Structure 1
Amino acid sequence: MQFNGIFRPNSGSIKYQGHDISYKNKALIELRKKVGIVFQDPDSQLFSASVWQDISFGPLNLGLSEEVVTERVKQALIDTETTDLEDKPTHLLSYGQKKRVSIAGVLAMGPEVIIFDEPTAGLDPRHSQEFMQLLEKLSILGKTIILSTHDVDLAYSWSDRLVIMSSGEIIAHGEPGELFLRPKIVERADLALPWLIEMHIELVQKGWLPPSTPLPKTREDLFRTIPVKNDLAG
């Protein structure tokens, strides 16, 4: 929550677009228009009686006109595929619906960056996949997505760039595949290898794949690299 000024760091500074963030009230309002946070537990984020009221709360506090707020809320509902929930009481939503409405509330603020804390926590595999498809959609729409997660499989397969932390400190950052192939970094952060990388290494060691085979980012990538029966026979 230091990214958008909710908390201040005990030491050092937080920069946005190359500049130290200011903690003056006006500057924080501007920052929070640009950087939104979706908490791990949606119940920590939803507090209005209905979905529409909850999503409109943020943009109304920005002093926007009713017309602009209505437009933003409608678009946020469309982007998160929750238009059928707009009149529903928030306490009657399912956990997955609450997650989506939480995102809609952040989207209505018009941020450039959205930070997600453990985005798939509490979701079953199907809803986790649907949720990540929503994040992919937001990325395509031009939003910068930052994930905070302990899920190495998710971090590896989804991210373009990875930051690994241990005891509150950054110990490495860079391209995901390159970082996970550094055993000392993985061990220091008490992480396990993503299963895609672990499987890739095993296939190379057993001679099923040449060492030059690129690391797979998805299970489809991995399956495409595995030789078919005729190839093995040849």
Structure 2
Amino acid sequence: MYLQSIILTVLAIVSSMSNIDCFPAGNERWRHPCGSSTLRPPLPPQSEIISDLIVRLREADDIATNLRIKYANERIVVQAIRRRLDQLHLDGFKAEYVPEKNASLVFKNVTVTYLESYAQLSTAAVFLEQIKNNENVHDHGAFSADIIDIENKLYDVLCHVQMAIVQSDAVIEKYQSRDIMSNQSPITDRRYRYSCDYIIIKDIVLTFKSLLVSYEAMKANM
């Protein structure tokens, strides 16, 4: 009964996960992932960009997966709660794994794939900011080094996607903003905060894995 009570309490809290505390501010780094300067030709050929992108996606996936395991082992220790959280998403960030059988769809319009990838990674960057902020403000930076590693790798991946977009003569018409994440009320409940952070890192892992499948399929057909 006690375990069931804990599960029901946590799930009741996370059922309204649209409110986040201590919202980050400052420059929106995902607008310029390669740095402040504008990318200009000549750039590496598309095949080289995609090959390098795949390497970085694998590295990002490994780092993010390891952090997800840390969250599971140290902060969401009840397996039944983790299983339920694995089915949830925060408002504004719903990552889905793309099966290999659907990866061939990326060839119909490669440029659209690049632009959609940029939007997905930018969304991940917005929510990763919140994990980083929560860690520093509430949890004494226990996982900060891991989060910074993911952040650096995410922007490395995003820079390569931006290079692919420029190489294909496409234009990013609209960037993501922090408005995709609600920040209406404070997270004072630690279980709520840990649940939010776990869901975010889970969906960041899904984002990396999904993009990896797509770009490996793209490379195989170049």
- Give the TM-score normalised by structure 1: 0.25
Answer 1 or 2: which has greater strand percent: 1
Larger radius of gyration: 1
Kindly indicate whether structure 1 or structure 2 has the higher relative contact order, using CA contacts under 8 Å at least 6 residues apart.
2
- Give the TM-score normalised by structure 2: 0.26
